[in-house]
Amino acid sequence: MSSMKELVEFMAKAVVNDPDSVIVREIEGSSATIFELSVTPEDMGRVIGKQGRVANAMRTLLRVAAVKEGKRVTLEIV
Amino acid sequence: MLNQNESLDVSAKTVEEAIDQGLEQLNLTRDQVEIEVINEGKRGIFGIGSEEAVVRLTPKPQTVVSSQSHNDIQSAEAASDVLPEVPATLEKEDVVEAVDAVDVEAESSTEAIAQPPDAEAEIPLDEETEPEQDVAASAKAYLEELLDHMGIEAEVTPRIAPDLVDPGEEPPLVLDVTGKDLGILIGRRSETLQALQYMVRLMVSKDMQSWQRIVVDVESYRARRRRSLSQMAKRMAERAVSSGERVVMESMSAYDRRIIHVALRDHPDVFTKSIGRESNRKVTIIPK
């Protein structure tokens, strides 16, 4: 398990009410790695935030990890 | 300087906001320009898939009104940050970015990520309801784990920081991050630092069940930023007094706006006020 995936899981689990339902899928694309985050419908707002603020903060921090590993990443909430 | 008769494209969250911003940049009123909506923008769902509204403002020929005050802000900021040359036709956003490229300290955060989700208050001072030590220990642990997962090697030291607030205010809990090559943690317009701080606040606040005003700092960036903002506030106040006109500063986060308000609180000749909405809030310095 990559540390980037752990990072997404760690952030998501810390802000939701139901951490056990947090699932992160890592999909290797040709040019970028996609992380798909899924949570319970009730927790969607918590990982997205007002005006996407939480999702964007997670993306920003994920990008730092990606730069460290020399990769391109996207985070999608599904 | 900005050509008075050239049209200006402005983007913002909504058409109305874009028009207001544009008019402010041109220092014109609505009846002095032709307004063309280039993109109405989309709100998106939860901010995803949203598109910025774009409008084009063209000053009507007879209204060659001075856009002095705005250009003054730009040139003053540019000059003070030792920026070689900023083409004056650039939009505000571009100028800010150009400045960023030269000096990360001089940047202005347009995203108010540092605010708690519903904070509109200019002076966000939360009462510490939980024992401070618990908050400090929990915040340190969360930040260390975040940094570890991000692949950053750094030291986290919590402290109560009277140097980051003005005398008489309750000093916040600060997590100082120190280490090698940590510029990556500040990022352009301190975006990364704000994201880091926001996540730590969320995580700790959830555990404590009350909003925690924790500050994350990297290599004393906050203190340097405070100094440069206060200095800029004082220069802009002098400008407002000498010109007799109000000076509108760049849009800033609540935290940065507050630094400006406090810096000019006891100024004998000006008062300050924030205008605009959400991420577009700007401090206006008004001569008394």
**What average pLDDT score do residues B119-125 get?**
39
B157 DSSP β-pair partners: B176
Other beta carbons within 10 angstroms of residue B253's beta carbon come to 21
Q: Tell me which of B44 and B190 has the higher pLDDT.
A: B190
CA–CA gap between residue B73 and residue B70 (Å, rounded): 5
Question: What does the block give as tokens for A36?
Answer: 């798909």
Distances, alpha carbon A74 to alpha carbons A31, B43, B196, B255, in Å: 11, 21, 18, 29
Distances, alpha carbon B25 to alpha carbons B63, B93, B103, in Å: 15, 11, 23
pLDDT at B169 over 70: yes
CA–CA gap between residue B55 and residue B10 (Å, rounded): 5
The two beta strands, B154-160 and B173-179, are antiparallel
**B221-234 confidence digits (pLDDT tens):** 999 999 999 999 99
- Write down the pTM of the prediction: 0.60
Instruction: Tell me which residue in A10, A56, A58 faces B145 most closely, judged by beta carbons.
Output: A10
**What average pLDDT score do residues B100-111 get?**
34
Categorize the per-residue pLDDT at B167 as very low, low, confident or very high, splitting at 50, 70 and 90.
confident
B92 DSSP β-pair partners: none
pLDDT at B37 over 80: no
Residues of B in contact with A45 (CB under 8 A): 46
pLDDT at B153 over 80: yes
Q: What is the pLDDT of residue A27?
A: 95
Q: B192 and A48 in contact by Cβ < 8 A?
A: no
Question: What does the block give as tokens for B58?
Answer: 């063209």
**A3-52 confidence digits (pLDDT tens):** 899 999 999 999 999 999 999 999 998 889 999 999 999 999 999 999 99
Beta strands in B43-168 (DSSP E): 53-59, 154-160
CB burial string B204-214: b at 16+ within 10 A, e below: bbbbbeebbbb
Instruction: Tell me which residue in B46, B152, B199 faces A48 most closely, judged by beta carbons.
Output: B46
Report the run of H or E that residue A67 belongs to, with start and end.
Answer: helix A53-69
